[in-house]
Amino acid sequence: MRTIFTKKFIRSLYMLLMLIVSGTFSHVYAQKSVPVLSTVDFSCVTVNRGELTLKVTGSNFDTKAGNAKTDGRFRLNVSNAATSLSIDVYPEAEGFTAATATFKIPSTAFTTIQVLSVTVQNANGNSGNYKWEASVPQSLFVIGPPTAQPVQSCPGQVTLSASGAPAGASYKWYRPDGTVIIGETGSTYTIPNQTASASYYVAMTAPGGCESTRTPVTATVNPTATVVITNPAAVCSPATVDLTAEAIKTGSTSGLTYTYFTDATATTALANPGAVAASGTYYIKGTNSTGCSDIKPVTVTIKETITVTAGRIAIDTEHPEEKLEVGKPATFTAESEITTNGYAASYKWYTKNKGVDWVLQPGASLQTFSVASVPSESYEVRVDITPNQETACFSGLPASGIQSIETGVIVPLPVEIIYFTALRQGKDVQLSWATASEENNAGFEVQVSEDGRAFRALGFVGTQNGDAQVKQSYGYTDTENGKYGTRYYRLRQVDRDGQFAYYTAKAVSFGAVSYSIRAFPNPLEGDQVSVAVQAEAGGQLQLQVLDAMGRVVASQARELGRGESLERVQLAPALPKGIYFVRTEMGGVVRSFKLLKK
Give the model's confidence band at 335: pLDDT under 50 very low, under 70 low, under 90 confident, else very high. Answer: very high
The yes-or-no verdict on residue 491 having pLDDT over 60 is yes
Q: 179 and 270: one domain?
A: no
DSSP state of 222: P
d(CA 316, CA 579): 8
d(CA 6, CA 144): 69
Select the more confidently predicted residue: 361 or 549. 361
Query: Which pLDDT tens digit goes with each residue over 54-79?
Result: 888 888 777 665 544 455 567 788 88
Residue 372 domain flag: yes
Q: 367 and 450: one domain?
A: no
Q: Which of 130-139, 410-419, 497-506 has the highest mean pLDDT?
A: 497-506
User: Tell me, what's the pLDDT at 126?
Assistant: 46
Q: 476 and 522: one domain?
A: no
Give the model's confidence band at 26: pLDDT under 50 very low, under 70 low, under 90 confident, else very high. Answer: very low
Q: 576 and 531: one domain?
A: yes
Q: 191 and 263: one domain?
A: no
Q: Which residues does residue 534 pair with via DSSP β-bridges, in sequence order?
A: 516, 564
Spell out the residues 6+ positions from residue 259 whose beta carbon is closer than 8 angstroms to its own: 266, 269, 284, 285, 287
DSSP E strands: which ranges in 131-262? 138-143, 147-148, 151-153, 156-163, 170-174, 188-194, 198-205, 215-221, 235-236, 257-261
Q: Which residues does residue 215 pair with via DSSP β-bridges, in sequence order?
A: 202
Give the model's confidence band at 324: pLDDT under 50 very low, under 70 low, under 90 confident, else very high. Answer: confident
Q: For 99-147, give the secondary structure using H, E and C.
A: EEEEEEECHHHHCCCEEEEEEEECCCCCCCCCCCCECCCEEEEEECCCE
* Domain stops at, among 406, 430, 462: 406
d(CA 205, CA 201): 13
**Cβ distance 553 to 564 under 8 Å?**
no
User: Tell me, what's the pLDDT at 121?
Assistant: 80
Spell out the residues 6+ positions from residue 443 whose beta carbon is closer than 8 angstroms to its own: 460, 461, 462, 463, 466, 493, 494
Please choose, from the candidates 196, 114, 110, 184, the residue with its C-alpha nearest in 3D space to the C-alpha of residue 153: 196
User: Tell me, what's the pLDDT at 229?
Assistant: 98
Give the model's confidence band at 133: pLDDT under 50 very low, under 70 low, under 90 confident, else very high. Answer: confident
Length of the chain: 598
Residue 226 domain flag: no
Q: 39 and 134: one domain?
A: yes
Average pLDDT, the chain: 85
Q: 506 and 445: one domain?
A: yes
* Domain stops at, among 277, 300, 323: 300
The yes-or-no verdict on residue 94 having pLDDT over 50 is no
Domain residues for 465?
416-510
DSSP state of 273: T
Give the model's confidence band at 98: pLDDT under 50 very low, under 70 low, under 90 confident, else very high. Answer: low
Helix (H) or strand (E) holding 324: none
d(CA 328, CA 418): 13
User: Tell me, what's the pLDDT at 5?
Assistant: 43
Select the more confidently predicted residue: 10 or 226. 226
Please choose, from the candidates 245, 201, 244, the residue with its C-alpha nearest in 3D space to the C-alpha of residue 219: 201
Mean predicted confidence (pLDDT) in 255-265: 97
Mean predicted confidence (pLDDT) in 533-537: 77
Classify the C-alpha dihedral 323-325-329-333 as positive or negative.
positive
Query: Which pLDDT tens digit goes with each residue over 385-415?
Result: 999 998 899 999 999 999 999 998 887 766 7
The yes-or-no verdict on residue 427 having pLDDT over 90 is no
Q: Which of 83-97, 132-146, 478-492 has the highest mean pLDDT?
A: 132-146
d(CA 583, CA 579): 13
Select the more confidently predicted residue: 132 or 353. 353
Mean predicted confidence (pLDDT) in 409-427: 80
Residue 574 domain flag: yes
Q: Exposed, middle or buried, 22 (CB in 10 Å: 0-12/13-18/19+)? A: exposed
User: Tell me, what's the pLDDT at 115?
Assistant: 93
Residue 543 domain flag: yes
Query: Which pLDDT tens digit goes with each residue over 563-596?
Result: 778 888 888 888 888 888 888 888 777 888 888 8
Domain CATH code at residue 524: 2.60.40.2550
Classify the C-alpha dihedral 535-536-540-546 as positive or negative.
negative
Mean predicted confidence (pLDDT) in 19-46: 63
Give the model's confidence band at 560: pLDDT under 50 very low, under 70 low, under 90 confident, else very high. Answer: confident
Residue 426 domain flag: yes
Spell out the residues 6+ positions from residue 550 whose beta carbon is closer than 8 angstroms to its own: none
Residue 273 domain flag: yes
By three-state DSSP, how is residue 253 classified? coil
**Cβ distance 286 to 256 under 8 Å?**
yes
Q: Provide the angle, in degrees to the nearest 10, between the axes of the packed helices 24-32 and 2-22.
A: 80
Domain CATH code at residue 109: 2.60.40.10
| Ordered alpha helix ranges (H), 341-473 | none
Please choose, from the candidates 268, 161, 169, the residue with its C-alpha nearest in 3D space to the C-alpha of residue 219: 161
Number of structural domains found in the chain = 7
Q: 291 and 344: one domain?
A: no
Give the model's confidence band at 99: pLDDT under 50 very low, under 70 low, under 90 confident, else very high. Answer: confident
Q: 62 and 112: one domain?
A: yes
d(CA 406, CA 313): 7
Please choose, from the candidates 119, 40, 136, 47, the residue with its C-alpha nearest in 3D space to the C-alpha of residue 85: 119
Q: Which residues does residue 462 pair with via DSSP β-bridges, in sequence order?
A: 443
User: Tell me, what's the pLDDT at 360?
Assistant: 96
The yes-or-no verdict on residue 346 having pLDDT over 50 is yes
List C-alpha distances in Å: 82 to 46, 78, 85, 183, 489.
17, 11, 10, 32, 122
| Helix, strand, coil in percent for the chain, rounding step 5 | 5, 50, 40
User: Tell me, what's the pLDDT at 170?
Assistant: 97
Q: 520 and 500: one domain?
A: no
Q: 39 and 139: one domain?
A: yes
The yes-or-no verdict on residue 450 having pLDDT over 60 is yes
d(CA 251, CA 228): 6
Helix (H) or strand (E) holding 5: helix 2-22
Residue 229 domain flag: no
* Domain stops at, among 271, 300, 329: 300
Q: Report the chain's C-alpha Rg in angstroms.
A: 56
The yes-or-no verdict on residue 23 having pLDDT over 50 is no
Classify the C-alpha dihedral 245-250-253-259 as positive or negative.
negative
| Ordered alpha helix ranges (H), 225-354 | 337-340
Give the model's confidence band at 2: pLDDT under 50 very low, under 70 low, under 90 confident, else very high. Answer: very low
Give the model's confidence band at 29: pLDDT under 50 very low, under 70 low, under 90 confident, else very high. Answer: very low
Spell out the residues 6+ positions from residue 21 whose beta carbon is closer than 8 angstroms to its own: none
Select the more confidently predicted residue: 346 or 391. 346
Residue 230 domain flag: no
User: Tell me, what's the pLDDT at 101?
Assistant: 79
Query: Which pLDDT tens digit goes with each residue over 275-303?
Result: 999 999 999 999 999 999 999 999 999 99
Select the more confidently predicted residue: 40 or 415. 40
d(CA 333, CA 548): 9
Q: 521 and 588: one domain?
A: yes
